[in-house]
Amino acid sequence: LHKAQEKFQNHMGTSRISHQLEEILQSAEQGRVEALFAPLGSELWGHLPQDGELLQTHAQPESGDIALLNWAIRNTYRHGGTPYVIQPDDMPDQHSVLASFRW
């Protein structure tokens, strides 16, 4: 975890780091996420956007929603990335989700 956090700090401010959930979801599906940081006990609900749709999230699940952070974690792991579910106070920059990309 420490090594991943250090790498995250080294790439801060570059296109290899994102806190934008929509970009992270797309990148997780493509296998681009090297490390994903998500706060323990947190979830965002919504549905994966289709072409041209904007991502809409909810604090509580609504009909047809999926657990978006969980989806990102599973897809990061499935493609060989490392998800870190950590204490909220340990989240870099206090975002709801962060990712570092392979490219």
What CATH number does the domain located at 2-49+57-101 have?
Answer: 3.30.1330.30
Which residues, in sequence order, are CB contacts of 12 under 8 Å at separation 6+? none
Q: Identify the band that residue 11 occupies on the pLDDT scale cut at 50, 70 and 90.
A: confident
Listed by start position, the domains of the chain span: 2-49+57-101
Q: Identify the band that residue 46 occupies on the pLDDT scale cut at 50, 70 and 90.
A: very high
Taking alpha carbons only, the member of 51, 85, 80, 81 closest to residue 67 is 85
Name the strand (E) or helix (H) holding 82. strand 82-86
Which residues, in sequence order, are CB contacts of 27 under 8 Å at separation 6+? 18, 33, 99, 101
Query: Residue 24 in contact with residue 33, Cβ under 8 Å?
Result: yes
Q: Identify the band that residue 73 occupies on the pLDDT scale cut at 50, 70 and 90.
A: very high
